[in-house]
Amino acid sequence: MPEPTFTVWQVGKVPDTVLRSESAMRKAARELGFDPSVVISEGEADIVSECGIVTGGCYVNEEGHEYV
């Protein structure tokens, strides 16, 4: 089974970032402040500012989805 891929989206930043490994997702989590264990267990996690505003997120990509 191939390793899952992940997408990080951020308000005002286009295009979204596709991460091709769990280790890359965990590194992004440290840098952007989301919980990687929530992404693994729930399929997605929000990036929340200090004011409590959602400014982005990370989610697990569906298997078989093709990327540009």
pLDDT digits (tens, 9 = 90+) for 4-43: 999 999 999 999 999 999 999 999 999 999 999 999 999 9
Beta strands in 1-68 (DSSP E): 6-10, 13-19, 44-48, 54-60
What pTM was estimated for this model as a whole? 0.86
Look at residue 34 and give its three-state secondary structure. coil
Tokens read off for 28: 């992004």
